[in-house]
Amino acid sequence: MSAVAIALVLVAAVLHAGWNLLLHDVDDRHASLAVAGFVIGVVSLPAVLLDPPTRVLGLVALSVLTHTAYVTLLSAAFEHGSLTIAYPLARGTSPLLVTLGGWLVLSEQPTYLAITGAILLGLGLALVGGAGRRLDQGTAVVFALLTGTSIAAYSLIDASAVRQTGPWGYVGVTELLVGVMMLVAIGADTRRLRSSIRPGILIGIGSLGAYLLVLLAFQRANAGQVSTLRETSVLIGMVASKEATGPVVVIGSVLVVAGAVLAAL
C-alpha cells in the first residue's frame, strides 16, 4: 500500500470520527442525515455535471440502498448505545467481510499480513462487543454489527464503481439520493429539517471529505487494505469521545489498531 494511499485513508479516518461524534450527540439524527445528503449533493453538483456516473447507474442504485441502510442502522446503534461500543463495532465488523469480498468479487488477493490483521481486528471487536453486552447494550451491538455488514457491502460496490467513473460525481449523486430517502423517512418535516441545518451541514462536509479521500485511496490500493486501515477512526473516535472505558475495551482497541496496521502493509 503506497504512502499516498495511507495518508489519504488516515486523514479520512479523522474526518470520519469527527462527523460520527457529532451524529451521536445530535437530537434528530434522521433529519440531520437528510440535510447532510442534500449538502453533499449541492456541493458535488459541478462534478456531477462535468462527470456524471452514467456508466455505473446500476452500481449507483445499489450504493444508494446500502448507504441508506448504513445510516439508518448506525442511527439506531447510536440511539441504543454509547459511542465507545457502537462505533468500534459498526466500523470494525466490515474489514473481514471486505477482504473476503474483495477476493471473491474484485479478484483481489489478500496477503497473509492482511488476513492476520483482519483476524486481530475481529478479535479486538469481539472483546468490545462482549463488553457492550455486559453493559446492557445488546441492542446497540446487534445494530452495530448490521451496520458493519452494510459498510462491507457499499465498500465493495463503491470500490468497483470508482474504477469506472469519477469519484466526486459518483458520491454526489449517491449521497443526494440517500438524502432524498432520509427526507421521505421523516415525512418531509420542514420543522425538523430547519432545526437540523447546522449539524447536517457539518456532518455532510465531514462525510463528503472523508469518503472522497477513501474513494481516491480505492483507486490506489486494494479495497480490503483501504477499508481495514480506515478503521483507525475507531480509536480516534473513542479517544475524542472521552467516554469511560474499561480495560477490556482498551485491549480490544489496541487489537483493532494492530490489525489495521498489519492489514495495510
Write out pLDDT tens, residues 245-257. Answer: 678 877 887 787 7
Instruction: Tell me how far apart the alpha carbons of residues 97 and 151 are, in angstroms, rounded to a whole number.
Output: 9
Q: How far is CA 17 from CA 13, 21, 34, 145, in A?
A: 6, 6, 19, 18
Rounded average pLDDT over 233-251: 78
The region of weakest confidence among 181-185, 189-193, 241-245 is 241-245
Rounded average pLDDT over 236-246: 76
pLDDT digits (tens, 9 = 90+) for 105-125: 767 777 788 778 878 877 887
Instruction: Tell me how far apart the alpha carbons of residues 74 and 162 are, in angstroms, rounded to a whole number.
Output: 24
Under DSSP, is residue 189 helix (H, G, I), strand (E, B) or coil?
Answer: coil
User: Which residues, 6 or more positions from 88, have their beta carbon under 8 angstroms from its beta carbon?
Assistant: 124, 125, 128, 234, 237, 238, 249, 252, 253, 256
Per the CB < 8 A criterion, the answer to whether 77 and 144 are in contact is yes
Residue of 150, 166, 206, 163 whose CA lies nearest to 36: 206
- Residue 179's pLDDT is 85
* Residue 134: exposure state from Cβ atoms within 10 A (0-12, 13-18, ≥19): exposed
Model confidence at 264: pLDDT above 70: no
Rounded average pLDDT over 15-29: 89
pLDDT band for 220, please (50, 70, 90 cuts).
Answer: confident
pLDDT digits (tens, 9 = 90+) for 43-72: 888 888 888 999 999 999 999 999 999 999
- Residue 106's pLDDT is 65
State the amino acid at position 168 in one-letter form.
Answer: W
Grid cell, residue 85, equals 461500543
Report which listed range, 58-67, 148-157, 161-170, 179-188, is most confident. 58-67
pLDDT band for 224, please (50, 70, 90 cuts).
Answer: low
- Residue 59's pLDDT is 95
Instruction: Tell me how far apart the alpha carbons of residues 16 and 210 are, in angstroms, rounded to a whole number.
Output: 6
